[in-house]
Amino acid sequence: MGQDWRFSDSFSTQERIYSASCPERRSEDSTPSSMELLSKYSYVWWDWKRWEKEIDWMALQGVNLPLAFTGQESIWQKVFFDYNITMENMNDFFGGPAFLAWARMGNLHAWGGPLSQNWLDQQLLLQKKILSRMIELGMTPVLPSFSGNVPSALKEIFPSAKITRLGDWNTVDGDPQFCCTYLLDPSDPLFEEIGESFIKQQIREYGDITDIYNCDTFNENTPPTHDPSYISSLGAAVYRAMSKADKNAVWLMQGWLFSSDSDFWKPPQMEALLNSVPFGKMIVLDLFAEVRPMWKKSSQFYGTPYIWCMLHNFGGNIEMYGTLDIVGSGPVDARLSDNSTMVGVGMCMEGIEQNPVVYELMSEMGFREQRVIVKEWLKVYLGRRYGKSVHQVETAWEILHRTIYNCTDGIQDHNTDFIVKLPDWDPSPEMVTEIPKLKRKKFFLLEEVEVRSSLPKAHLWYSTEDVIKALGLLLDGAGDLHGSLTYRYDLVDLTRQTLSKLANEVYLKAMIAFQEKNSTALSFHSGRFLELIKDIDEVLAADDNYLLGTWLESAKELALNPTEKNQYEWNARTQVTMWYDTTQSAQSQLHDYANKFWSGLLEDYYLPRASMYFAHLSKSLRRKEKFEIKEWRKEWIAYSRKWQRSSKLYPIKGHGNALVIAKTLNDKYFFE
């Protein structure tokens, strides 16, 4: 995972632990520490102006341990050139601008590339500005270190080195063109040599600015044996590569592997890795602590200092979601637990710029010593957010608190709403039995219908009826909040949320109509689904924060020539739609991973996809023929590729009256 990390360390004992790691950079009266890991889905196209804004925001929130990964490809270029790796070899090693996170993790290579020298030079210069401002504001940047991923050519140059090719990663048919990267075993002497060279090169470029280095050699990469002694030796080798270049080095490691690969990482293996370095020289990120707190299952990470982290968002998806009560209590409970080794709190989301209420609360947790009563906290928050207290709005948020922002089902919320992640399946009757009978009402709620497990399911953890009431209350408070941009943002978001969940229901009705061979009902419900896409696009278009054009233009603005402009736009379009090894008749396993509710994307991408799908279903009923899903896939994939190559311009400024549109849609769908 390549997240957005923000850490905060506020307790006196935590400060002592942190200062012990970096004594020369933390005075006795230093401020609490906090960390931010910036995500692969948000910052790839940021220029200095945007970065400056983010760093200033971090400082205001008390963040003082931010991840700083920008520009590392330029460092790797210089390091690997010393090992006779050519630029042609590097082009096969690096991913494209929008896919660098996956290339850095060793998931893929070459996809979306090559990186131009302009890009490498620009990003290095940007990194120096980023680091300068972080240091100016009293932060300690976290820099990358060597995790073992190497260009394939290194195996030819060092044939006796322990370099293995990794297995398949999310390909359709096992084609290694972009997957199956090469990993240098930490036990090989060359590992420590390259690791030392990389950190020394960073020190030459940036100065001696930090002792904290991130390395995730074993993240989604299982060691070859369960033997604890071997795992311990690997961990020790990883740390030696850091400490040879920086004697005060501290290894910052994601704890995601202990959750995502729990079948391998049992207590003996976990303890072997965590205790493979001197105490105080490793800090673990309990990456998904608000849902799967690993500190509880690992005896406080077997004595290793850790940071309680909120992950919250996957894929940079736009969906109202949160666990506010857990966020407001989890860090405090962890800190006060017996034998606690917690040294801070952090945010590790895969994407930002969504659900501001969640991040506002989490940002405060580094400074709180007692649990937050969220109901009371919300009243204060709303007064700050909107500039005044409005009874109807407060009541609306009370509902949102106990519904949307109270998810406790333990499911990681990766948006699977059918508009943005249309199920790629054959709903033919022979595929599904025991078709449910619907209650005859305008729109049924998902929880009211017993749907057989073989039907698609979008994540739903709350009463949609209650949230529709909250939308009505939010609209009722509009008169007192006229002109508030934050109110408009929340109104658009909640309107989108209610309509998207409604679209899920309509989609299932269309599927059941197809299974019952009811052409009239299929036509009606599929038409309703398409209409909802258009209406959601219209309300999103009324706010600057929900526009595809902003994402595309920010990519193109970094280009210095037409070739780069075309490449960057293709990268931007591809990352949020369908990417990696799609074939002519099979979608990539990663399609829609980074789906977005953005105006423009709905109208020109999700709408045509659903239209094609329903057209093929209707043709199947009309002609009494088998639904040919492969034919739909061919048509859809061809369209997707054409759209990704397009250069159509999209607005970067909202248009339309969000309040009027939201009110009209609320009346249309919930009160007609």
Both tokens assigned to 3: 């997240």
Please report, as a single letter, which amino acid is at residue 568. Y
Angle at CA of residue 269, ends 188 and 108, nearest 5°:
55
pLDDT digits (tens, 9 = 90+) for 372-410: 999 999 999 999 999 999 999 999 999 999 999 999 999
Residue whose structure tokens are 């090469």? 182
Provide mean pLDDT across the span 632-657.
Answer: 98
Which residues have C-beta within 8 Å of that of residue 475, sequence separation ≥ 6?
Answer: 491, 659, 662, 663, 666
Residue 160 has pLDDT above 90, yes or no: yes
Separation in Å, CA 234 to CA 226, 241, 264, 278, 305:
12, 11, 16, 14, 20
CA gap 127, 131 in Å, rounded: 6
Q: What's the rounded Cα separation, in Å, for the pair 481 and 417?
A: 30
Cα dihedral 204/210/212/215 (nearest 10): -20
The separation between CA 634 and the C-alpha centre of its own chain, rounded to angstroms, equals 29
Q: List residues bridging with 9 in a β-sheet.
A: 33
The pLDDT tens digits of the residues spanning 49-80 come to 999 999 999 999 999 899 999 999 999 999 99
Residue 250: strand pairing partners? 212
Across 42-54, average pLDDT? 94
pLDDT tens digits, residue range 539-581?
999 999 999 999 999 999 999 999 999 999 999 999 999 999 8
Determine contact, residues 162/188, Cβ cutoff 8 Å.
yes
Q: State residue 24's pLDDT score.
A: 27
Q: Is the peptide bond before 114 cis (omega within 30 degrees of 0)?
A: yes
Cut 0.85: pTM above it:
yes
- Per residue in 261-310, pLDDT tens? 999 999 999 999 999 999 999 999 999 999 999 999 999 999 999 999 99
Q: Which pLDDT does position 482 carry in this prediction?
A: 83
Residue with tokens 């248009």: 655
What pLDDT does 117 receive? Answer: 98
State residue 453 phi and psi, 5-degree precision. Answer: -60, -20
**Separation of alpha carbons 539 and 657, rounded Å:** 8
pLDDT at site 672: 62
In the predicted structure, residue 29 carries a pLDDT above the cut 70: no
Predicted local distance difference test score (pLDDT) of residue 26: 27
Q: What is the pLDDT of residue 23?
A: 24
What is the per-residue pLDDT for 221? 76
Is residue 175 very low, low, confident or very high in pLDDT (cuts 50, 70, 90)? confident
Buried b (16+ CB within 10 A) or exposed e, 452-465: eeebbebbbebebe
pLDDT value at position 438? 38
| 179: pLDDT strictly greater than 70 | yes
Q: Are 109 and 103 in contact (CB under 8 A)?
A: yes
Q: How far are the Cα atoms of 319, 355, 575 from residue 484, in angstroms, in the given order?
A: 21, 17, 32
Tell me the average pLDDT of the chain. Answer: 90
Confidence of residue 15 (pLDDT cuts 50, 70, 90): very low
Q: What is the pLDDT of residue 465?
A: 97
Q: Which of 13-27, 569-583, 639-653 has the lowest mean pLDDT?
A: 13-27
Cα distances (Å, whole numbers) of residue 265 to 111, 183, 227, 252, 455? 30, 20, 11, 18, 34
Q: How far apart (Å, rounded) are the C-alpha atoms in residues 320 and 316?
A: 12
Give the tens place of pLDDT for each residue, 325-358: 999 999 999 999 999 999 999 999 999 999 999 9
pLDDT tens-digit series, residues 436-473: 443 333 333 444 444 445 689 999 999 999 999 999 99
Task: For residue 444, report the phi and psi dihedrals to the nearest 5 degrees.
Answer: -90, 155
Q: Band of the pLDDT at 40, cuts 50, 70, 90?
A: low
Question: Which tens digit of pLDDT belongs to each residue from 411-443?
Answer: 888 899 999 999 999 999 765 544 444 333 333
What percent of the chain shows pLDDT beyond 70?
A: 90
pLDDT of residue 33: 44
Query: Element (H or E) spanning 397, and its range?
Result: helix 391-402
Give the pLDDT score at 28.
31
**pLDDT more than 90, % of the chain:** 85
